[in-house]
Chains A and B, each alone.
Chain A
Amino acid sequence: MIDALLVLLAGVLAFIFGWNNSSLLIGNIRASGSLGAKGAVAVSVIGLLAGAAIEGPKMLKSLNGSVAYSSPEIGLAITLGLAVAFTVGLTFLKLPATFSGIMVGSFLGAAVALRLAVNGGQVLLIVSFWFIAPLIAGFIAFALHRATSTLLTSVSVVGVDSFNRLAIVGTSFAVAFVLGANNVGLMAGTAAGGGAGGQGAMVAVGLALVAALGAVTLGKGHVSDTIGDRMLSLSPQGVFAVFAGAAIAVIIGTQLQVPMSIGESVLGGMFGSAYSQRTTVINRRVASLALGMWIVTPLMAFATGYILAAV
């Protein structure tokens, strides 16, 4: 019974996740005009599935089996249930939802309330990597943006246009891949109780399909827009640098079993990309809001998870 509930909650969460990240998964390609609607959907679906199938299994034990060694199913249900509630609430409020932060916070809160043995070293790694990842993404974005600006100087307008097209499709695939690997893998692991072997991987692939469905059916790109479009304006090469930097930061986190929010890395990448140019205008109020939400949300999820598990 509770197993079915976990899978159902994970399915709902995956659907909302797809909706929440639709502008990253599909919006970039569609808005840029690089590909038509079918092509954009195909890139994101293939990316999500490939990420979930190839790298997703590395994230299966990133909470249950890593942060705490064996959580009872009620702890996992609280984690998934709160993730659904927080993500829906923040999405409707058009606020950036740090999906992985909510899951880690609520899982940890429930684990502490249930008096489980918590792996302090892994918690420290996760929290510290949340701060390091934007710096990594920012550094990569800075270097990539500088490099592309320099290398493309002698390339024709059409050549630059072609590069932009390729870069947007490539980075959109990369973003879908890392979201499938890290976030869908995290959801699958939580739903499968740390899901050993093939079962967890199958759940990950199934959830990736559900996430793609969420992105296609409900996605209009509102939430990710609040972070990116309102914060600063970037050229296509800037967008490429940001998403490449963010994707690399998330894939590094995946190797370390760290649940990651790509939004944090995108924010870091945006600063890196923006500061690689001579003139930069950044909406600091929006940046501060995003940063504040990413610190406050896991803490709120921790407190709520603790209270629910204690009750």
Chain B
Amino acid sequence: MKLRPFSFISRKESKIVQEIEGYFRIVEKTVDGFAGLVKAMAERDWAAAKNFFQLVLDGESEADSVHRTLSMAIAEGAFFGGIREDILDLLETMDNVADSAKDAARFLESEEDLDDFALSLLESDEMKLFVSELQSAVNALGKLIAAFDLGKKEILARIPAVEEWEEAADSSKDKLMKRLFRSSSTPNPVTVIQMRDFLFVADDIADYAEDASDVILVLAAKGYD
């Protein structure tokens, strides 16, 4: 149940919270674009991959712009007594999620950059699981942000889910690393380095989602005490 007994006083703040939810949807769209890119590359659907790559770039760029506008609105006058800096931190960390999606997508920018070994890694079940866990971590963050409307109890209840998905993604990343370095074939060392970096940067998506949940934990602890 949504309890907003005094919200008529904080119209500006209410609008900002709604805009944060909108901002999250842009970040989520960027991460979904990244997931689509990995899938399209794995399926060797280069045209779709190109579209998804552009979607990621556009999403990240839009996220940057909304981040800037929201930060200015908060810095210039929204109240958020005691938690203003934490909300700015949250926006910054959410922006890092979108940045990581873009940075990871850059590794898959062109099919010419990927050899068969890299493509086989992208089409592996471990990779599918890893990418879906990254998306789940971001989705869990979205549910956490939606709990801003529901109060501290619900916020605290939704925080562990982000951490759980981040740990799951971390575990899948480790499995992919093992696969990368213990392959029976002899891959090109450049491909190994490229895919290792790709995995680290992609994993940042979940790491930053978890960082955002940590910021929300601090925000709830400070804002409600």
Q: Which of B57-85 contact A (CB under 8 A)?
A: 77-83
Q: Which 6 residue pairs are nearest across A and B when measured between Cβ atoms? A: A162-B6, A236-B81, A154-B151, A162-B9, A162-B10, A164-B81
Q: Which of B140-159 contact A (CB under 8 A)?
A: 148-153
In the complex, what residue of chain A is closest to B150 when comparing beta carbons? A156
A154 and B150 contact, Cβ closer than 8 Å, known pairs A33-B79, A164-B81, A164-B82: yes
In-complex Cβ contact of B222 among A158, A166, A235 (8 A): A235
Cβ contact within 8 Å between A157 and B225: no
Chain A residues with CB below 8 A from B151, complex form:
152-156, 159
Can you name 20 A-B residue pairings with CB atoms under 8 Å? A32-B79, A32-B81, A33-B81, A152-B224, A155-B4, A156-B17, A156-B150, A157-B17, A158-B14, A159-B7, A159-B151, A161-B80, A162-B5, A162-B7, A162-B10, A164-B79, A165-B79, A166-B6, A166-B9, A238-B225
| Interface membership of B190, Cβ < 8 A | no
Cβ contact within 8 Å between A156 and B79: no
Q: Per DSSP, are chain A's interface residues mostly helix, strand or loop, or mixed?
A: helix
Cβ contact within 8 Å between A156 and B81: no
Q: Which of B191-223 contact A (CB under 8 A)?
A: 219, 222-223
Q: Which of B86-120 contact A (CB under 8 A)?
A: none
| Interface membership of A179, Cβ < 8 A | no
Q: Which of A213-241 contact B (CB under 8 A)?
A: 235-238
Chain B residues with CB below 8 A from A164, complex form:
79, 81-82
Q: Which residues of B contact A (CB under 8 A)?
A: 1-10, 13-14, 17, 77-83, 148-153, 219, 222-225
Chain A residues with CB below 8 A from B5, complex form:
155, 159, 162-163
Listed residue (A34, A235, A277) with the most chain B CB atoms within 10 angstroms of its CB = A235
Cβ contact within 8 Å between B9 and A157: no
For the complex, give the distance between the alpha carbons of A168 and B83 in Å.
15
Q: Which residues of A contact B (CB under 8 A)?
A: 32-34, 149, 152-166, 168, 235-238, 277
In-complex Cβ contact of A161 among B8, B13, B150, B222 (8 A): B13
For the complex, give the distance between the alpha carbons of A307 and B123 in Å.
94
For the complex, give the distance between the alpha carbons of A250 and B153 in Å.
36
In the complex, what residue of chain B is closest to A240 when comparing beta carbons? B81
Listed residue (B6, B81, B223) with the most chain A CB atoms within 10 angstroms of its CB = B81
Listed residue (A152, A161, A163) with the most chain B CB atoms within 10 angstroms of its CB = A161
For the complex, give the distance between the alpha carbons of A158 and B78 in Å.
11
In-complex Cβ contact of B225 among A149, A154, A158, A166 (8 A): A149
Q: How far is the CB of B215 from chain A (nearest CB, A)?
A: 13
In the complex, what residue of chain B is closest to A152 when comparing beta carbons? B224
Chain B residues with CB below 8 A from A165, complex form:
6, 9-10, 79, 81
For the complex, give the distance between the alpha carbons of A166 and B7 in Å.
11
Cβ contact within 8 Å between B3 and A236: no
For the complex, give the distance between the alpha carbons of A163 and B2 in Å.
15
For the complex, give the distance between the alpha carbons of A235 and B149 in Å.
20
Cβ contact within 8 Å between A161 and B77: no
Cβ contact within 8 Å between B82 and A236: yes
Listed residue (B1, B14, B79, B152) with the most chain A CB atoms within 10 angstroms of its CB = B79
For the complex, give the distance between the alpha carbons of A226 and B78 in Å.
27
Cβ contact within 8 Å between B79 and A235: no
Cβ contact within 8 Å between A235 and B82: yes
In-complex Cβ contact of A152 among B10, B81, B152 (8 A): B152
Chain A residues with CB below 8 A from B149, complex form:
156-158
Q: How far is the CB of A201 from chain B (nearest CB, A)?
A: 35
Chain B residues with CB below 8 A from A157, complex form:
17, 83, 148-149, 219, 223
For the complex, give the distance between the alpha carbons of A191 and B12 in Å.
47
Q: How far is the CB of B153 from chain A (nearest CB, A)?
A: 6
Cβ contact within 8 Å between B225 and A163: no
For the complex, give the distance between the alpha carbons of A164 and B10 in Å.
10
In-complex Cβ contact of B10 among A149, A158, A168, A277 (8 A): A158
Q: How far is the CB of A271 from chain B (nearest CB, A)?
A: 16
For the complex, give the distance between the alpha carbons of A152 and B82 in Å.
15
In the complex, what residue of chain A is closest to B79 when comparing beta carbons? A33
In the complex, what residue of chain A is closest to B18 when comparing beta carbons? A158
Q: How far is the CB of A166 from chain B (nearest CB, A)?
A: 6
Q: How far is the CB of B94 from chain A (nearest CB, A)?
A: 15
Cβ contact within 8 Å between A235 and B7: no
A153 and B81 contact, Cβ closer than 8 Å, known pairs A162-B8, A238-B225: no
Chain A residues with CB below 8 A from B10, complex form:
158, 161-162, 165
Listed residue (A157, A164, A235) with the most chain B CB atoms within 10 angstroms of its CB = A157
For the complex, give the distance between the alpha carbons of A34 and B14 in Å.
15
Given A158-B7, A158-B149, A162-B13, 11 more pairs with CB closer than 8 A: A33-B77, A33-B79, A156-B2, A156-B150, A157-B149, A158-B4, A158-B14, A159-B5, A161-B79, A164-B81, A277-B225
A153 and B224 contact, Cβ closer than 8 Å, known pairs A158-B4, A162-B9: yes
Listed residue (B2, B8, B152) with the most chain A CB atoms within 10 angstroms of its CB = B152
